[in-house]
Protein backbone atom coordinates (compact mmCIF):
# COMPACT_ATOMS: atom_id res chain seq x y z
CA UNK A 1 0.00 0.00 0.00
CA UNK A 2 1.26 3.43 -0.94
CA UNK A 3 0.68 6.39 1.33
CA UNK A 4 -0.05 9.72 -0.33
CA UNK A 5 3.26 11.42 -1.07
CA UNK A 6 4.55 14.62 -2.69
CA UNK A 7 3.81 14.46 -6.41
CA UNK A 8 7.23 15.93 -7.19
CA UNK A 9 8.60 12.49 -6.33
CA UNK A 10 6.35 10.58 -8.74
CA UNK A 11 9.03 10.23 -11.43
CA UNK A 12 12.01 10.02 -9.15
CA UNK A 13 13.75 6.64 -8.93
CA UNK A 14 16.18 5.75 -6.15
CA UNK A 15 19.83 6.18 -7.19
CA UNK A 16 21.16 2.84 -8.51
CA UNK A 17 24.52 2.31 -6.76
CA UNK A 18 27.22 -0.06 -8.06
CA UNK A 19 26.68 -3.70 -7.11
CA UNK A 20 28.43 -4.71 -3.88
CA UNK A 21 31.12 -7.42 -4.19
CA UNK A 22 29.30 -9.73 -1.75
CA UNK A 23 26.12 -9.68 -3.84
CA UNK A 24 27.97 -10.67 -7.02
CA UNK A 25 29.84 -13.44 -5.18
CA UNK A 26 26.53 -14.83 -3.93
CA UNK A 27 24.63 -14.54 -7.22
CA UNK A 28 27.34 -16.02 -9.42
CA UNK A 29 28.93 -18.43 -6.97
CA UNK A 30 32.31 -16.68 -7.26
CA UNK A 31 35.03 -16.36 -4.67
CA UNK A 32 37.17 -13.75 -6.41
CA UNK A 33 35.41 -10.59 -7.53
CA UNK A 34 37.00 -7.36 -8.78
CA UNK A 35 34.91 -4.21 -8.40
CA UNK A 36 35.71 -1.38 -10.77
CA UNK A 37 32.31 0.25 -10.55
CA UNK A 38 32.15 3.07 -8.01
CA UNK A 39 35.29 5.13 -8.52
CA UNK A 40 36.62 4.02 -5.16
CA UNK A 41 40.28 4.18 -4.19
CA UNK A 42 41.81 0.74 -4.91
CA UNK A 43 44.71 1.48 -2.55
CA UNK A 44 42.33 1.58 0.40
CA UNK A 45 42.10 4.27 3.08
CA UNK A 46 45.17 6.07 4.37
CA UNK A 47 46.68 3.96 7.19
CA UNK A 48 46.86 7.18 9.22
CA UNK A 49 43.09 7.56 8.86
CA UNK A 50 42.56 3.97 10.00
CA UNK A 51 44.69 4.64 13.07
CA UNK A 52 42.79 7.83 13.86
CA UNK A 53 39.48 5.96 13.59
CA UNK A 54 40.70 3.22 15.93
CA UNK A 55 41.70 5.84 18.49
CA UNK A 56 38.16 7.25 18.48
CA UNK A 57 36.34 3.98 19.05
CA UNK A 58 36.06 4.47 22.80
CA UNK A 59 34.43 7.87 22.27
CA UNK A 60 31.45 6.64 20.30
CA UNK A 61 28.99 7.40 23.07
CA UNK A 62 29.60 11.11 22.44
CA UNK A 63 28.02 13.14 19.67
CA UNK A 64 30.50 14.52 17.17
CA UNK A 65 31.36 18.20 16.82
CA UNK A 66 28.40 19.61 14.95
CA UNK A 67 30.44 22.19 13.07
CA UNK A 68 33.51 19.97 12.48
CA UNK A 69 35.56 22.52 14.46
CA UNK A 70 39.02 20.97 14.17
CA UNK A 71 38.58 19.64 10.64
CA UNK A 72 37.18 23.02 9.58
CA UNK A 73 40.11 24.95 10.96
CA UNK A 74 42.71 22.57 9.64
CA UNK A 75 41.23 22.50 6.14
CA UNK A 76 40.71 26.28 6.07
CA UNK A 77 44.43 26.69 6.83
CA UNK A 78 45.43 24.25 4.09
CA UNK A 79 43.13 25.82 1.50
CA UNK A 80 43.85 29.44 2.45
CA UNK A 81 40.18 30.28 3.11
CA UNK A 82 38.38 31.32 6.30
CA UNK A 83 36.71 28.59 8.40
CA UNK A 84 33.35 30.28 7.60
CA UNK A 85 33.89 29.56 3.91
CA UNK A 86 33.48 25.83 4.58
CA UNK A 87 30.57 23.47 5.10
CA UNK A 88 30.82 19.70 5.64
CA UNK A 89 28.51 16.88 4.66
CA UNK A 90 27.91 13.15 4.90
CA UNK A 91 29.72 12.95 1.58
CA UNK A 92 29.65 15.90 -0.80
CA UNK A 93 26.46 14.28 -2.05
CA UNK A 94 24.66 15.45 1.08
CA UNK A 95 25.78 19.02 0.49
CA UNK A 96 24.23 18.95 -3.00
CA UNK A 97 20.97 17.64 -1.52
CA UNK A 98 21.00 20.25 1.26
CA UNK A 99 21.64 23.06 -1.22
CA UNK A 100 18.68 21.86 -3.27
CA UNK A 101 16.52 21.75 -0.15
CA UNK A 102 17.63 25.22 0.93
CA UNK A 103 17.23 27.07 -2.37
CA UNK A 104 14.82 25.28 -4.72
CA UNK A 105 11.07 25.08 -5.11
CA UNK A 106 8.72 24.27 -7.97
CA UNK A 107 9.13 27.67 -9.61
CA UNK A 108 12.86 27.14 -10.17
CA UNK A 109 15.21 25.26 -12.47
CA UNK A 110 18.82 24.11 -12.44
CA UNK A 111 21.17 23.92 -15.42
CA UNK A 112 23.70 21.15 -16.04
CA UNK A 113 25.15 19.04 -18.85
CA UNK A 114 23.19 16.17 -20.31
CA UNK A 115 25.94 13.72 -19.33
CA UNK A 116 26.73 14.59 -15.79
CA UNK A 117 26.34 13.30 -12.25
CA UNK A 118 22.68 12.42 -11.86
CA UNK A 119 22.44 13.55 -8.24
CA UNK A 120 22.06 17.23 -9.27
CA UNK A 121 18.91 16.44 -11.22
CA UNK A 122 17.65 14.20 -8.41
CA UNK A 123 18.12 17.01 -5.88
CA UNK A 124 16.23 19.43 -8.10
CA UNK A 125 13.44 16.97 -8.89
CA UNK A 126 12.97 16.18 -5.21
CA UNK A 127 12.19 19.85 -4.63
CA UNK A 128 9.89 20.11 -7.64
CA UNK A 129 12.41 22.11 -9.68
CA UNK A 130 13.15 21.41 -13.34
CA UNK A 131 16.50 20.41 -14.79
CA UNK A 132 17.60 22.07 -18.01
CA UNK A 133 20.03 19.68 -19.68
CA UNK A 134 22.61 21.04 -22.09
CA UNK A 135 24.32 18.78 -24.66
CA UNK A 136 28.05 18.32 -24.32
CA UNK A 137 30.44 19.15 -27.13
CA UNK A 138 32.77 16.32 -28.05
CA UNK A 139 32.28 14.84 -24.60
CA UNK A 140 33.15 18.08 -22.79
CA UNK A 141 30.97 20.58 -20.97
CA UNK A 142 29.93 23.34 -23.37
CA UNK A 143 30.29 26.27 -21.00
CA UNK A 144 28.82 28.81 -23.42
CA UNK A 145 25.71 26.70 -24.02
CA UNK A 146 25.38 26.13 -20.28
CA UNK A 147 25.51 29.86 -19.61
CA UNK A 148 22.98 30.45 -22.39
CA UNK A 149 20.55 27.96 -20.81
CA UNK A 150 20.25 30.08 -17.66
CA UNK A 151 17.00 32.05 -17.35
CA UNK A 152 15.34 34.15 -14.64
CA UNK A 153 14.16 31.01 -12.80
CA UNK A 154 17.59 29.33 -12.66
CA UNK A 155 18.98 28.98 -9.14
CA UNK A 156 21.94 26.63 -9.73
CA UNK A 157 24.33 25.75 -12.51
CA UNK A 158 26.20 22.50 -11.77
CA UNK A 159 29.53 21.80 -13.43
CA UNK A 160 31.34 18.59 -12.47
CA UNK A 161 35.02 19.09 -13.25
CA UNK A 162 36.20 16.45 -14.05
CA UNK A 163 32.82 15.22 -15.09
CA UNK A 164 31.31 11.96 -13.91
CA UNK A 165 30.54 9.73 -15.84
CA UNK A 166 32.48 11.15 -18.80
CA UNK A 167 35.84 11.87 -17.15
CA UNK A 168 36.61 14.95 -19.25
CA UNK A 169 37.59 18.29 -17.71
CA UNK A 170 37.25 21.94 -18.64
CA UNK A 171 39.99 24.54 -18.36
CA UNK A 172 40.41 27.53 -16.06
CA UNK A 173 39.68 29.84 -19.01
CA UNK A 174 36.38 28.06 -19.71
CA UNK A 175 35.24 28.06 -16.09
CA UNK A 176 36.15 31.71 -15.72
CA UNK A 177 34.21 32.60 -18.87
CA UNK A 178 31.21 30.80 -17.44
CA UNK A 179 31.46 32.68 -14.13
CA UNK A 180 31.75 35.99 -15.97
CA UNK A 181 28.64 35.26 -18.05
CA UNK A 182 26.24 33.77 -15.53
CA UNK A 183 24.18 36.28 -13.49
CA UNK A 184 25.41 36.61 -9.89
CA UNK A 185 22.02 35.42 -8.59
CA UNK A 186 22.74 31.92 -9.92
CA UNK A 187 24.89 29.72 -7.68
CA UNK A 188 27.55 28.04 -9.82
CA UNK A 189 28.52 24.74 -8.21
CA UNK A 190 31.89 23.50 -9.38
CA UNK A 191 31.89 19.84 -8.32
CA UNK A 192 35.53 18.89 -7.82
CA UNK A 193 35.03 15.40 -6.42
CA UNK A 194 38.03 14.26 -8.52
CA UNK A 195 40.13 17.39 -7.90
CA UNK A 196 43.18 15.54 -6.57
CA UNK A 197 43.45 13.48 -9.78
CA UNK A 198 42.96 16.43 -12.12
CA UNK A 199 44.94 19.24 -10.55
CA UNK A 200 48.25 18.31 -12.18
CA UNK A 201 46.78 19.42 -15.53
CA UNK A 202 48.25 22.90 -16.06
CA UNK A 203 44.93 24.24 -17.33
CA UNK A 204 42.91 22.94 -14.39
CA UNK A 205 41.28 25.86 -12.56
CA UNK A 206 42.49 27.07 -9.18
CA UNK A 207 38.94 28.19 -8.46
CA UNK A 208 39.46 29.15 -4.81
CA UNK A 209 41.20 32.33 -5.94
CA UNK A 210 37.91 33.44 -7.59
CA UNK A 211 35.74 33.16 -4.48
CA UNK A 212 36.02 36.83 -3.48
CA UNK A 213 35.26 38.00 -7.00
CA UNK A 214 32.31 35.62 -7.50
CA UNK A 215 30.22 35.28 -4.31
CA UNK A 216 27.94 32.90 -6.24
CA UNK A 217 30.76 30.33 -6.68
CA UNK A 218 30.65 27.09 -4.66
CA UNK A 219 33.33 24.39 -4.94
CA UNK A 220 32.46 20.91 -3.64
CA UNK A 221 35.10 18.26 -2.86
CA UNK A 222 35.21 14.92 -1.11
CA UNK A 223 37.31 12.54 0.96
CA UNK A 224 35.64 9.61 -0.85
CA UNK A 225 37.92 9.37 -3.87
CA UNK A 226 41.65 10.11 -3.69
CA UNK A 227 41.61 10.05 0.13
CA UNK A 228 40.02 6.59 0.09
CA UNK A 229 37.29 7.30 2.65
CA UNK A 230 34.11 6.60 0.66
CA UNK A 231 32.82 4.23 3.33
CA UNK A 232 32.87 6.73 6.16
CA UNK A 233 31.15 9.56 4.27
CA UNK A 234 32.69 12.99 4.45
CA UNK A 235 32.82 15.79 1.92
CA UNK A 236 33.01 19.56 2.01
CA UNK A 237 32.20 22.67 0.07
CA UNK A 238 33.93 26.03 -0.15
CA UNK A 239 31.80 29.11 -0.71
CA UNK A 240 30.32 32.32 0.52
CA UNK A 241 29.25 32.18 4.22
CA UNK A 242 25.96 33.80 3.14
CA UNK A 243 25.13 30.60 1.23
CA UNK A 244 26.08 28.37 4.17
CA UNK A 245 23.95 30.47 6.50
CA UNK A 246 20.91 29.27 4.52
CA UNK A 247 22.10 25.67 4.02
CA UNK A 248 22.82 25.35 7.75
CA UNK A 249 19.09 25.81 8.43
CA UNK A 250 18.36 22.44 6.82
CA UNK A 251 21.57 20.63 7.78
CA UNK A 252 21.08 17.85 10.35
CA UNK A 253 23.12 18.86 13.41
CA UNK A 254 25.52 15.87 13.51
CA UNK A 255 25.69 15.08 9.82
CA UNK A 256 29.41 14.25 9.82
CA UNK A 257 30.14 11.51 12.31
CA UNK A 258 32.97 11.45 14.84
CA UNK A 259 35.02 8.81 13.02
CA UNK A 260 34.71 10.61 9.70
CA UNK A 261 35.98 13.90 11.12
CA UNK A 262 39.04 12.22 12.65
CA UNK A 263 39.70 10.15 9.54
CA UNK A 264 39.53 13.20 7.28
CA UNK A 265 41.99 15.13 9.44
CA UNK A 266 44.46 12.25 9.45
CA UNK A 267 44.08 11.72 5.70
CA UNK A 268 44.98 15.37 5.11
CA UNK A 269 48.33 14.62 6.76
CA UNK A 270 49.07 11.60 4.59
CA UNK A 271 50.72 13.03 1.48
CA UNK A 272 52.37 9.69 0.75
CA UNK A 273 49.03 7.89 0.43
CA UNK A 274 47.66 10.65 -1.78
CA UNK A 275 50.61 10.70 -4.15
CA UNK A 276 50.70 6.90 -4.41
CA UNK A 277 47.00 7.01 -5.23
CA UNK A 278 47.37 9.64 -7.91
CA UNK A 279 50.41 8.07 -9.59
CA UNK A 280 48.91 4.56 -9.44
CA UNK A 281 45.79 5.96 -11.06
CA UNK A 282 47.75 7.56 -13.90
CA UNK A 283 49.50 4.24 -14.59
CA UNK A 284 46.16 2.42 -14.55
CA UNK A 285 44.62 4.88 -16.99
CA UNK A 286 47.51 4.49 -19.45
CA UNK A 287 47.17 0.72 -19.26
CA UNK A 288 43.43 0.98 -19.95
CA UNK A 289 44.01 3.27 -22.95
CA UNK A 290 46.56 0.84 -24.36
CA UNK A 291 44.17 -2.10 -23.92
CA UNK A 292 41.19 -0.25 -25.42
CA UNK A 293 43.32 0.87 -28.38
CA UNK A 294 44.33 -2.69 -29.10
CA UNK A 295 40.71 -3.87 -28.77
CA UNK A 296 39.62 -1.10 -31.16
CA UNK A 297 37.36 0.55 -28.55
CA UNK A 298 37.03 4.31 -28.31
CA UNK A 299 37.08 6.10 -24.96
CA UNK A 300 37.17 9.59 -23.51
CA UNK A 301 40.52 10.76 -22.11
CA UNK A 302 40.02 10.89 -18.36
CA UNK A 303 41.11 13.42 -15.76
CA UNK A 304 39.63 11.31 -12.96
CA UNK A 305 39.92 7.71 -11.65
CA UNK A 306 37.65 6.05 -14.21
CA UNK A 307 37.18 5.93 -17.96
CA UNK A 308 34.10 5.92 -20.18
CA UNK A 309 34.42 3.37 -22.99
CA UNK A 310 32.26 2.79 -26.04
CA UNK A 311 31.58 -0.94 -26.50
CA UNK A 312 30.02 -0.47 -29.96
CA UNK A 313 27.29 -2.93 -28.95
CA UNK A 314 24.64 -3.06 -26.20
CA UNK A 315 26.80 -2.57 -23.13
CA UNK A 316 24.32 -4.26 -20.79
CA UNK A 317 25.26 -7.65 -22.28
CA UNK A 318 28.98 -6.92 -21.89
CA UNK A 319 28.33 -5.83 -18.31
CA UNK A 320 26.50 -9.10 -17.55
CA UNK A 321 29.23 -11.20 -19.18
CA UNK A 322 31.89 -9.41 -17.15
CA UNK A 323 29.84 -10.01 -13.97
CA UNK A 324 29.80 -13.73 -14.70
CA UNK A 325 33.59 -13.56 -14.94
CA UNK A 326 33.77 -11.81 -11.57
CA UNK A 327 34.34 -8.23 -12.73
CA UNK A 328 31.90 -5.48 -11.75
CA UNK A 329 31.92 -2.36 -13.93
CA UNK A 330 29.24 0.30 -14.33
CA UNK A 331 26.62 0.25 -17.10
CA UNK A 332 25.57 3.70 -18.23
CA UNK A 333 21.86 3.20 -18.89
CA UNK A 334 20.82 5.88 -16.40
CA UNK A 335 23.01 8.31 -18.31
CA UNK A 336 21.31 7.32 -21.56
CA UNK A 337 24.52 5.79 -22.92
CA UNK A 338 23.42 2.22 -23.70
CA UNK A 339 26.65 1.31 -25.51
CA UNK A 340 29.06 2.63 -22.90
CA UNK A 341 30.59 1.27 -19.73
CA UNK A 342 32.40 3.24 -17.06
CA UNK A 343 35.42 1.46 -15.62
CA UNK A 344 37.09 2.61 -12.42
CA UNK A 345 40.85 2.25 -12.23
CA UNK A 346 41.85 -0.57 -9.88
CA UNK A 347 45.09 -2.04 -8.62
CA UNK A 348 47.42 -3.24 -11.35
CA UNK A 349 46.37 -6.88 -10.82
CA UNK A 350 42.67 -5.92 -10.91
CA UNK A 351 43.15 -3.91 -14.10
CA UNK A 352 44.76 -6.95 -15.75
CA UNK A 353 41.94 -9.24 -14.62
CA UNK A 354 39.45 -6.79 -16.13
CA UNK A 355 41.37 -6.47 -19.41
CA UNK A 356 41.61 -10.27 -19.75
CA UNK A 357 37.90 -10.66 -18.98
CA UNK A 358 36.93 -7.93 -21.45
CA UNK A 359 39.14 -9.39 -24.20
CA UNK A 360 37.55 -12.73 -23.55
CA UNK A 361 34.00 -11.35 -23.59
CA UNK A 362 34.56 -9.43 -26.83
CA UNK A 363 36.03 -12.50 -28.51
CA UNK A 364 33.12 -14.69 -27.47
CA UNK A 365 29.62 -14.23 -28.88
CA UNK A 366 28.44 -12.86 -25.46
N1 LIG B 1 30.23 14.42 -7.36
C2 LIG B 1 30.66 13.58 -8.28
C3 LIG B 1 30.97 14.12 -9.64
C4 LIG B 1 30.80 12.22 -7.99
O5 LIG B 1 31.20 11.37 -8.94
C6 LIG B 1 30.49 11.76 -6.69
C7 LIG B 1 30.64 10.30 -6.30
N8 LIG B 1 30.20 9.38 -7.19
C9 LIG B 1 30.05 12.68 -5.76
C10 LIG B 1 29.93 14.00 -6.12
C11 LIG B 1 29.64 12.29 -4.38
O12 LIG B 1 30.69 11.83 -3.62
P13 LIG B 1 30.57 11.66 -2.05
O14 LIG B 1 29.14 11.86 -1.65
O15 LIG B 1 31.07 10.31 -1.77
O16 LIG B 1 31.43 12.76 -1.49
Per residue in 253-299, pLDDT tens?
A: 999 999 999 999 999 999 999 999 999 999 999 999 999 999 999 99
What SS3 state is found at 213? coil
Q: Please tell me the distance between residue 160's alpha carbon and the centre of ligand 1 in angstroms.
A: 9
Per residue in 200-229, pLDDT tens?
A: 999 999 999 999 999 999 999 999 999 999
208 and 81 Cβ atoms separated by less than 8 Å: yes
> Does the beta carbon of 230 lie inside 6 Å of ligand 1?
yes
Q: Which residues contact 331 (CB under 8 A, 6 or more apart)?
A: 315, 316, 319, 341
What pTM did the predictor assign?
0.97
Per residue in 79-95, pLDDT tens?
A: 999 999 999 999 999 99
Q: Which of 100, 141, 164, 334 to mutate to test the pocket of ligand 1 (most atoms within 8 A of CB)?
A: 164
Q: Which of 96, 99, 117, 159 to mutate to test the pocket of ligand 1 (most atoms within 8 A of CB)?
A: 117
Distance, first Cα to last Cα, the chain = 40
Other beta carbons within 10 angstroms of residue 61's beta carbon come to 6
Distance CA 137, CA 61 (A): 52
In this structure, the residue with its CA closest to atom 6 of ligand 1 is: 193
Q: Please tell me the distance between residue 117's alpha carbon and the centre of ligand 1 in angstroms.
A: 8
87 and 95 Cβ atoms separated by less than 8 Å: yes
351: Cα within 13 Å, side-chain hemisphere? 23
- Quick one: what percent of the chain has pLDDT higher than 70? 99
The per-residue pLDDT of the chain, averaged, comes to: 96
Q: Please tell me the distance between residue 193's alpha carbon and the centre of ligand 1 in angstroms.
A: 6
Pick the closest to residue 18 from 36, 32, 2 (CA basis): 36
Amino acid sequence: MLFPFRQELANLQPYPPGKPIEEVQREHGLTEVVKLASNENPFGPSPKAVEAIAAQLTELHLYPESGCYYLRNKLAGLLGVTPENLIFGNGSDEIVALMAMAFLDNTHNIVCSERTFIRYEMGATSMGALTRHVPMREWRHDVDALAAAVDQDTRFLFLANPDNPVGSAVSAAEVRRLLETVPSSVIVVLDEAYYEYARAWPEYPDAIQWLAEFPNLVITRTFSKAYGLAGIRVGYAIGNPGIWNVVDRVRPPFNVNRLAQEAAMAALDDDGHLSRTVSGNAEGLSRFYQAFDSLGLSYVKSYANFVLVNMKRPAAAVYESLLRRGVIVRPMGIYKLPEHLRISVGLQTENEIFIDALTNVLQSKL
